[in-house]
Structure 1
Amino acid sequence: MNNPLVSIITPSFNCSNSIFKTIDSVLNQTYQNWELLIADDCSSDNSCEVIEKFTALDSRIKLIRRDWNAGPAVTRNRAISEAKGRYIAFLDADDTWYPSKLEKQIAFMQSKNIALSYTSYRRVHEDGRELGVVNVPESVSYSDILKTNSIGCLTACYDTELLGKVYMPNIAKRQDLGLWLKILKRIDNAYALEGCLADYYVGVSTVSSNKIAAAKYQWRIYREVEKLPLLKAAYYFVSYASAAVLNRL
């Protein structure tokens, strides 16, 4: 296996209390040919000062400052536009990777010529309580992902040599799902490698905890982004809502 450059896309907004552990998890990767592009969305805390301490120590870490707050889609897309790597991976500013994550994922993708891959991940409350592992299917198609999003953004990686650069739709929520749908229109399946390789931190005020808002944005994905006919959108929304209920049982 050769060692192509991996561009890691990290949006930052008022994350001074968590960004250091995110950066540490990248620095501790056994795969070392990466660049970490941290796009700060006009934070009002000292996030940039924390990040700059790392950029001064490691030239692979780059801070991109935005002059006005545009939201995570625009912020991630700004970092993607500046990425130089063959592979684009995503890691938000309060989540972490296990040390072997990139090494295993890039080897998996190269050995099987995979355009989009993902892994299982563990959910952790912001107070440190473990909330369980989210196990993912071996593969997902466009239709599968419309029913339930099995690809955690912090685990996803795509190959620009096979896909070119693909950007997130400019919507306030569910941008990652919009990106997977874009890619899965062009390929048959995305594939998971074995093992839990990341920790997703859940806070009491996170978007994912607001079920009504999440459902509204899921519906917008169907109708406004994917432009599905009403009955088809309703079919997938029922599948999405049923899966959400089952996951709480």
Structure 2
Amino acid sequence: MKALVPVKRVVDYNVKVRVKSDGTGVDIANVKMSMNPFDEIAVEEATRLKEKGALTEVVAVSCGVTQAQETLRTAMAIGADRGILVESTEELQPLAVAKLLKALVEKEKPDLIILGKQAIDDDCNQTGQMLAALLDLPQATFASKVEVADGYATVTREVDGGLETIKLKLPAVITTDLRLNEPRYVTLPNIMKAKKKPLETVKPADLGVDVAPRIKTLKVSEPPKRGAGVKVPDVATLVQKLKNEAKVI
């Protein structure tokens, strides 16, 4: 059984992002980039399934600029067997990525597609669902536990009311949540091994996919700065301020 794991190159979650002065987007010049944390969880889960014997091959896929090869190498250092980069300098929106992944799925014929529920840069939370719709495959989103056996995947997913467990016939699409696992620390020997693993590069045109943006970003702005707190001498003053100034009671 084969798993396809899409991974995205994003601004590292430890970096404080800055909005461009013209408000057209986020400034990523000279900013540390890394793998989207939810996708890292997906790679870890696929690797664990392979170690359990449920999978025989894990293929990491990334769509974006040439530097995304580094993200794929990280995925291979975690446990992916090979990587595929769909190289493009265009702004790749969720629908375009889903169409690129659909073309790769039709080519690779994986039994399982597992990816992060969302990327921390755009927070769209759309690619997995769009991919499942385009492929007409069963899907399980926000997975907190995954078990694969006998041609089925049993997925425990987080919902507003608690947990929901569903059973999917493979092939299927699964998106991962934070509590699914904790990704392993990537060791230096595994980083060196990852450099020798095969990495294929293709263009969107090779897959016959139009990646032209469908959505236009009008403006990006930072959230308003929080005002400074104040100390009050007693409870009566606190209640007065909450009632008359904050107007929350």
Question: Would you say same fold, with TM above 0.5?
Answer: no
Q: How high is the TM-score relative to the length of structure 2? A: 0.37
Structure with higher Rg: it is 2
RCO greater where, 1 or 2, for CA within 8 Å and sep 6 or more? 2
Q: How high is the TM-score relative to the length of structure 1? A: 0.37
Answer 1 or 2: which has greater strand percent.
2
Answer 1 or 2: which has greater helix percent.
1
